[in-house]
Amino acid sequence: MFSGTLVVRRIRNGWPSRYFSTTKGGESLRIAIVGGGVAGLSSALHLAPLVASGHIEGPIDIFDGGSSSQTGREIGVGIWSTAMDPFVESKEESHQLLIDELEKNGSYLRDVGYRTPKGHWLAKSRLGGSQPDLLFIREMDLLGSLRKALDVEQAKNTIRLLSGPDYKVKSIAEDSPEPWSATLKLGDKSVDSERDYHLVIAADGMNSTIRQKYGGHLCERSRLMGTNALKGPLDLPQHGELVKENWHTTGHVVATETQDREYTVFRGNANVSGMDVDLETSFQTWGEGQSMRFATVPMSYPDPDNPDKREERDVWFITIENKEINSESDPVKRKELLLEEFKGWHEPIGTLVRATPADEILMERALAHRHSMSPLANFNEIVTRILGKAVPSRGNGPAIIFIGDAFMCVDPILAQGFTVGMEGAAALKTCLESSLLSGSDHPYQPLAFDPILLRQELKERHDNRLHRLICLLRATEMVQALGQPMTGTLAGFISRDVIRPLMRLTPGFIKTPIFNAVAKYSLGLPQSFDGNKSRNS
């Protein structure tokens, strides 16, 4: 139980809202997280210690509009060590449990390489050690690990998970009389949430309800030149090339829209091990035209019938832009079409696809946001613009921050979506610590925190995260330019007939550091990075 004064606030929906405030100055920060996926659960776990210390009012409420039984898919996903290190460094019981579960249920990737469709190796590298670590784990086990850690915090009443259709967030109350907070509108009947919140964390994915409804009305767009389709492999932007434009209400659609990346992703778990197909190194193979790519990663996890044994699978990914395949609804025929398109490519590509049941091959269109979403510091002004009339409160209303795919869903080619979401959660915790632990006096009674300082810290966090995002976007464009030569273009000729042959002839001790540098850059790491904090490195 927390020390401090028990306070009973106004009645909402017939329930008195009780909370503990350890600060004599008044109300502590109340937080709602919209979305119970990887980004949302990670955010709650990172912020839980601030509840235990009394700087955030407990519990942090997670609103998950889905079912509490949702467990994710069996497909393998990658988590880079940059997302895991903050948990590794923490001494919190729930954080250590999370790392234990992740490492028990996943496996670290070591040897990686890049190949041509004929099987020629362009480059090889080794992860771990002085390079970042990459853990591969089934999506269902990633979510399961997070939920096990969450159970520890729920027992302490630092976090509360609210699942089901009745807790699906439709909007934020737009007529709140409170100057710095508002309730959430829940379910089909738009019932008010039990409590009002000072900070709303939108972690509800690419199609975020909060982003689509409130994003872009007052945002300032920061667009670094050179991140919207590089003209060539050397057309990189210089540091500080920044263009700023103000968005008004008419730009709301532009601010929140997604773009089609013009290819489809197919994913499967082949029921074979690396030894079965003589595969010691995971690899990516880059084709020519039609966005054709193939990648495979070995993955292992505990045998459900015998925890002392491990099941082995090869997770594979195909990207291609082919209207016939995209429009085929029969999984068996779709698999046959994929095999036909890739029949001239090296083994074990065909073997892995054939070893995967057709109805287990996932198919998703590659989509991405055009822009990242900055924090919303003045919710009431946004509502005034939307409604065309002033709101009852004289304050700014709740602050809103976006995490994970709600912040920006990027092109999936480098598969860093979950990593970016978990990194963002850790960055938010650091941001709130700076704001809530400042100890500075402020005139905003009865609040125990400074809402203006909170917004300043959120804005600074966003600006710092942009560097990480820009690194990923630039690396994505560069990989596509180098790895996907287009037939009939000068850039394609240079990439296919000049760069690739040179890469094959260049000694490994020269080209491997280049690929390592690109991997570090895509993760926003300095080139001086020389080791991981992951316990199995």
If one counts the domains in the chain, the total is: 1
CA distance 98 to 96: 5
> What pLDDT was estimated at residue 524?
80
Would 70 be classed as within a structural domain? yes
Would 503 be classed as within a structural domain? no
Say which CATH number the domain at 252 has: 3.50.50.60
> What pLDDT was estimated at residue 226?
42
Look up the pTM and report it.
0.86
Structural tokens at position 98: 């999370």
CA distance 89 to 74: 28
H helix runs in 357-416, sequence order? 379-387
Chain centroid to CA 109: how far?
20
Would 356 be classed as within a structural domain? no
Domain of 215 in residue numbering reads as 5-107+137-256+370-478
- Positions in the chain whose pLDDT score sits under 70: 1-25, 67-70, 218-251, 274-278, 438-443, 445, 481-497, 500, 503-505, 508, 511, 527-537
User: Cβ atoms within 10 A of the Cβ of 462, count?
Assistant: 21
> What pLDDT was estimated at residue 188?
92
> What pLDDT was estimated at residue 488?
60
Q: What is the pLDDT of residues 62-80, one digit of tens each?
A: 999 875 545 778 899 999 9
Reduce the secondary structure of 397-408 to three states and give it as a string: CCEEEECHHHCC
**Kindly report the CA angle at 45 between 41 and 72, in degrees rounded to 5?**
25
> What pLDDT was estimated at residue 278?
66
Name the β-bridge partners of 286: 293
Q: What is the pLDDT of residues 236-287, one digit of tens each?
A: 334 444 444 444 555 677 777 888 888 999 999 998 876 666 677 788 898 8
SS3 state at 391: coil
Would 526 be classed as within a structural domain? no
CA distance 266 to 295: 11
CB 365 within 8 A of CB 260: yes
CA distance 537 to 535: 6
Would 347 be classed as within a structural domain? no
Would 377 be classed as within a structural domain? yes
Q: Cβ neighbours of residue 358 under 8 Å, at least 6 residues apart?
A: 331, 332, 334, 335
> What pLDDT was estimated at residue 483?
62
Structural tokens at position 219: 């945002």
Structural tokens at position 8: 């009973």
Question: CA torsion 341→343→345→349, rounded to 10°?
Answer: 100
Max Cα–Cα distance, the chain, nearest Å: 74
Q: Answer left, alpha or beta for residue 35, where phi above 0 means left and psi between -120 and 50 means alpha.
A: left
Nearest to 459 by CA among 196, 222, 250, 208: 222
Q: What is the pLDDT of residues 468-503, one digit of tens each?
A: 888 888 887 777 766 666 666 666 666 666 776 776
- What's the distance, Cα to Cα, between the start and end of the chain in Å? 37
> What pLDDT was estimated at residue 22?
38
User: Cβ atoms within 10 A of the Cβ of 489, count?
Assistant: 13
Structural tokens at position 149: 């850690």
> What pLDDT was estimated at residue 150?
98
Would 262 be classed as within a structural domain? no
Name the β-bridge partners of 344: none
